[in-house]
Chains A and B, each alone.
Chain A
Amino acid sequence: MLTLSLILIPLIAGVITLLTKNNSAKQLALIGAAIELVLAVVIYAQFQPTAAQQFSFSYPWIQSAGISFAGGIDGISILLVMLTAFLTPLIVLSTFRQPYKNASTFYALILFMQAALMGVFTATDAFLFYLFFEAALIPVYFLAAVWGGEDRIKVTFKFFVYTIFGSLFMLVALVYLYYQTSSAQGHTSEISAFYKLALDAQKQGWIFWAFFIAFAIKMPVFPFHTWQPDTYTESPTPATMLLAGIMLKMGVYGVIRFVLPIVPLGLQTWGTTAIILSVIGIVYGSIIAIQQRDMKRLIAYSSFAHVGLMSAGVFSQTLSGVQGALIQMLAHGINVVGLFFIIEIIFSRTKTRNIEQLGGITQRTPHLTVYFMILMLGSVALPLTNGFVGEFLLLRGVYESNIWLGAIAGTTIILGAVYMLRLFQKSMFGAKSAFTEHFADLSFSERAVLVPLVIMVFWMGLYPNSFLKLTEPAVSNLLQMIHY
């Protein structure tokens, strides 16, 4: 029941927001997201790491096709559920100083997005997962395409067609797997039933690619990333936060949930290819990020590089790789939302995102500098910050799987430090420019967003075990299924 409420609360809050007047929409949305957060904290408190699916619900839905409306939370989904519940109120709060036209629709879409994301992370029925996977796309598409920048229509259209194209392949794979299952009542689409299928290697190879294309486009993994930098740059910042902070995790989550346990033989054949593509993404994304002038674009490429490492870790099929990916998803979500928010703060005051035109902001607002520095250091994975734990585990996972690829992936630490420190230095230090001459200090609502993020950076960095212990039993369980 609790899990079902996780999906329903944002949905209902979204409908209410849609029906209210524009000027009270943001408060309502914030209340809805806050209730959701409270619920998630309750779930977090009651969660048993060693048990399998918890807080489950299951209702028959389309019986003729064996589809049920079923969900639950296990060690693999718990962190992502927490991440979604934690970030959404902050994303809503981050818009408080920025007026958006048609505010009630705008905030309703954010809440619908949250409902769909919760659905993706909790669904235990494969077709339900697919429905939410697609449904999540529609609100964020409209957020980006209606409220975005100048080039928004073309860019978001590419994003939309690209991602739907990918997920259609997943649909075919799911329908195929569905027909392979057999039970007393005919076929079933429970994900756990898919785990028991033992298909031959060739079929697994095909299904591996069907899934891989869907998830690789979502993450994105090289060479399917071409939609990503433009979409992140052109979207309004809240939509970018949703995309980078939560939505790209759908891809990584999908790989852990579907690819690892269902097609182990396919993975045996093609896993290294997938890791190579991911590692190319890491290096390629980082090198391009170093050359960016637009701050939003820079973070977009850094996000591409980071998710490459997560994907490489997952495809390594090692305990530390998958564990690292789960913890890094949480850390990256927190850091990237924080960084995009800081860019938005700077942009709203200076009307520019070009780092060549900025500089000297520190002299005006030391507070912002501190927050920025903490989030930036988290992103470059300095020890004692949240990025370090995940990145360390991920690199270890890749290294265990293949030493050379591990070494190349390790360059992310150096390259990441280069582009992040360059961003920080060029914008915050140096001489003041015409743009940064007048720079107001942080407002209360801005601090209210940044403080929780910074707390999380330290909490995860200093005591990662409070998160790792939630996921470890589930992950080792999953990996046992692969290494028969």
Chain B
Amino acid sequence: MLPIILLSILGLLVLFLGFQKSKNILLPATLLVLVLTLIANFANWNDAPSLYFKGMLFENKLTMAFSGIVLISALLISALTRGFIDDEAAQPAEYYAIMLFSLVGAIIMIGYENLLMLFVGVEILSVSMYVLTGSDKRNLRSNEAALKYLLMGSFATGIMLFGMALLYGATGSFSLAALKSYVLTNPSPSVMMYVGLLMLLIGMLFKVSAAPFHFWTPDVYDGAPTVFTAFMSTIVKTAGFAAIYRLLSGSFSGAYTFWWSTLAGITVLTLLAGNITAVYQNSFKRMMAYSSISHAGYLLLSLTALSSQSQDAIVFYSLAYSLATISAFGVLMIVSKETGVRSNEVSESFNAFNGLGKKNPLLAFVLTVSMLSLAGIPLTAGFWGKFFVFSSVVERGLTWILIVAVLMSAVGIYYYFRAVIAAYMREGEGNAIKVPQFYRLVLIVTTIITLFFGLLPDLLKGLV
């Protein structure tokens, strides 16, 4: 409860800080808010699971863990925004405030106990994202991305709302507990419930960009300012999967035989669409967009299995994926900025990394670790993420989907390694790249955590 209140009130304060002429105070203030919220989030870690806000929201270790991942990602990403305040025309106060508000939405999505709260959470997060996507106001592509995201997103929200209404019609309640008891007590539930569940799922799957609802993703991720792309691909995804997991495991595990085949089909489609299309990208940022689709596929895989391993697998995978993605976008931001200074044209293609191993060994190393982690190579957190996901699937006995996932992992190695090859084996132009102190710290932290969990995944697993 405390994190939501803190973020809302302090977020407003950050907004008012914008009246201050000095922009330098904004970033420290935002970071402070996030650190406070993070402490508040984990403060009552050992408490028993509880309901609050009149039974509308729920809190246990699982929701705290997901909120923790979201907040840590937000903290790291905010720390990477440092260089962007330098832009004279920017209005950073609004963006920082919106980032904080969007986190309120994410936390509500993670902890909802009532479908209405799910809707509120999704909308808070989505509307914030529409704004942030279009925040590069003079850039045509940023505008296009925002409009596209808004139109498609509204459509998906509509379908989701429709689904909720049908579920209400079938069960007479919005509460997860009531839905659960309805599923358990009615061996043959009404068709309305099935249709409602499917529509709700489609709405949610749109938000996490699962195929075939993923067509907005590359354009939006590509058009948005990179720092917000990182924000979208980590926070929205983590919150979205937390929400879907809570819905399916909390309320609809009794109807597994109904939804698993649908979800299995979507999983396979997502894995194929994400990985195969990523191979053909020349822009690193666009590749990362497709890679985020493919990772949605692996997370969905674990959801489809919904075995005793799934919960741990999803938490671990979300964390590993978020850390690696933040590193990758962090490196991209610096490198593409440098290409912009050098040739007046910002390059976000793989070629931007050419010769990075010589120009800045640290950045090249950070990039390599993050690519290895995303590709799931051992001794990185990403490997154990995949390992736990695969374990959960084997436990359920869905070996045939696993074969698709394994083949697609091999495809993944191909496109992630293009960045590594560019960094170490191709000759680049330009001189050494300087990295601001603060920025370097963030990248080192994400890399160390990635390697640390690559060696000792057990520390996190089983906590929740």
User: Please, what's the 1-or-0 string for A141-176, where 1 marks a CB less than 8 Å from any CB in chain B?
Assistant: 010011000001100010011001100110110011
Taken residue by residue from 379 to 412, chain B's Cβ proximity to chain A (1 for < 8 Å, 0 otherwise) reads as: 1000000011011001100010011001101100
A175 touches B410 (CB 8 A): no
Is B410 touching A64 in the complex (CB atoms < 8 A)?
A: no
Q: Determine if A414 is an interface residue (Cβ-Cβ < 8 Å).
A: no
Given contacts A160-B413, A165-B410, A168-B406, contact A179 B421 (CB under 8 A): no
A65 close to B391 (CB less than 8 A): yes
Q: Which of B378, B399, B403 contacts A131 (CB 8 A)?
A: B378
Q: How far is the CB of A265 from chain B (nearest CB, A)?
A: 18
CA distance A440 to B226 in the complex (A): 58
Kindly state the interface size class of chain A when it binds its partner. 20 to 34
A168 to B409, CA, bound (A): 8
Q: Is A130 an interface residue (CB 8 A)?
A: yes
> How far is B416's CA from A164's CA once the two chains are assembled, in angstroms?
13
- Chain B residues positioned under 8 Å from A142 (CB to CB): 424
Select one of A63, A135, A152, A175 contacting B378, CB under 8 A.
A135
**Which residue of chain B has the shortest Cβ distance to A165 in the bound complex?**
B410
Contacts of B413 in A (CB 8 A): 160-161, 164-165
Mask of B218-250 contacts with A, CB within 8 angstroms, 1/0: 000000000000000000000000000000000
Least Cβ distance of B414 to chain A in Å?
5
Of A62, A130, A152, most B-chain CB atoms within 10 Å: A62
Residues of chain B within 8 A of A153, CB atoms compared: 421, 425-426
- The answer on a CB contact under 8 Å between A145 and B425 is yes
Given known contacts A168-B406, A168-B410, A172-B406, A62 and B458 CB-to-CB distance under 8 angstroms: yes
Neighbouring A residues of B390 by C-beta, 8 Å? 171-172, 175
| B195 close to chain A: CB less than 8 A | no
A134 at the interface (CB under 8 A from B): yes
Q: Does B258 contact A (CB under 8 A)?
A: no
Chain B residues closer than 8 Å to A131, beta-carbon distance: 378-379
Task: Write the chain B residue with the least CB distance to A63.
Answer: B458
A270 at the interface (CB under 8 A from B): no
Are A172 and B402 in touch, CB under 8 angstroms?
Answer: yes
CA distance A138 to B413 in the complex (A): 12
A138 CA to B377 CA, complexed, in Å? 9
Complex: how many Å from CA A152 to CA B403? Answer: 30
A175 adjacent to B462 (CB under 8 Å): no
B399 touching A176 by the CB < 8 A rule?
A: yes
Determine the residue in chain A with the shortest Cβ distance to B418: A157
Taking CB atoms and an 8 Å cut-off, the chain B residues in 396-455 that contact chain A are 399, 402-403, 406-407, 409-410, 413-414, 417, 421, 424-426
* A161-B410 in contact (CB<8A): yes
A96 contacts the other chain (Cβ, under 8 Å)?
A: no
- Which residues of B lie under 8 Å from residue A61 when comparing CB positions? 456, 458
| Residue pair B379, A146 in contact (C-beta under 8 Å) | no
- Contact at A157–B395, with CB atoms within 8 Å? no
Q: What's the Cα separation between A92 and B378 when bound, in Å?
A: 26
A12 to chain B, nearest CB (A): 16
| Residues in B neighbouring A135, C-beta threshold 8 A | 378-379
Contact flag A161-B414 (CB < 8 Å), given A153-B421, A153-B425, A176-B394: yes
Q: Considering the chains assembled together, what is the distance between the CA atoms of A291 and B378 in angstroms?
A: 40
Set of chain A residues within 8 Å of B426, measured between Cβ atoms: 153
Contact B462 A130 (CB under 8 A): no
Nearest Cβ in chain B — how far from A162, in angstroms? Answer: 9
In the bound complex, what is the Cα–Cα distance between A161 and B142 (angstroms)? 35
**Does B425 lie within 8 Å of A169, measured CB to CB?**
no
Docked complex Cα distance between A131 and B410 (Å): 16
CA A164 – CA B462 in complex, angstroms? 29
Q: Is the CB of A157 within 8 A of B378?
A: no
- B457 contacts A by Cβ under 8 Å: yes
Interface residues as binary, A35-63 with B (CB distance below 8 Å gives 1, 0 otherwise): 00000000000000000000000000111
Instruction: Tell which of A65, A134, A146, A175 touches B377, judged by Cβ atoms closer than 8 Å.
Output: A134
Instruction: Say yes or no: A146 contacts B394, CB within 8 Å.
Output: no
B406 A157 Cβ-Cβ under 8 A: no
Name, among A64, A131, A161, the residue most crowded by chain B CB atoms within 10 Å (CB to CB).
A64
B387 contact set on A, CB distance < 8 A: 65, 171, 175
> Are A130's CB and B417's CB within 8 A?
no
Contact with A along B143-157 (1 / 0, CB 8 A): 000000000000000
User: Closest approach, in angstroms, between the C-beta of A250 and any C-beta of chain B?
Assistant: 15
Nearest B-chain residue to A137, judged by Cβ: B377
Q: Does B337 contact A (CB under 8 A)?
A: no
A153-B387 Cα distance, complex, nearest whole Å: 29
Q: Tell me the smallest distance from the CB of B62 to a CB of chain A, in Å.
A: 16
Are A160 and B458 in contact, CB atoms less than 8 angstroms apart?
A: no
CA distance A160 to B390 in the complex (A): 22
Q: B461 an interface residue at 8 Å Cβ cutoff?
A: yes
Chain B neighbourhood of A64, CB < 8 A: 312, 458, 461-462
Could you tell me if B394 and A175 are in contact, using CB atoms closer than 8 angstroms? yes
Taking CB atoms, residues of chain B closer than 8 Å to A65 are 387-388, 391, 458, 461
Given A135-B379, A165-B410, A168-B409, verify A157-B394 contact (CB < 8 Å). Answer: no
Q: How far does the alpha carbon of A179 sit from the alpha carbon of B457 in the complex, in Å?
A: 19
- In the complex, residue of chain A having the shortest beta-carbon distance to the beta carbon of B377: A134
Within the complex, what minimum Cβ distance (angstroms) separates A259 from chain B? 19
Which of A63, A130, A145, A172 is in CB contact (< 8 Å) with B421? A145
Residues in chain B within 8 A of chain A (CB atoms): 312, 372, 377-379, 387-388, 390-391, 394-395, 399, 402-403, 406-407, 409-410, 413-414, 417, 421, 424-426, 456-458, 461-462
Top 9 A-B pairs ranked by shortest CB distance? A165-B410, A62-B458, A134-B378, A131-B378, A168-B406, A64-B462, A175-B394, A64-B461, A153-B425
16 interchain pairs (CB within 8 A)? A61-B456, A64-B312, A64-B462, A65-B391, A131-B378, A138-B372, A153-B421, A161-B417, A164-B377, A164-B413, A171-B387, A171-B390, A175-B387, A175-B391, A179-B391, A179-B394
6 further A-B contacts with Cβ under 8 Å, apart from A65-B387, A171-B390, A175-B394, are: A62-B461, A65-B458, A146-B424, A172-B402, A176-B394, A179-B391
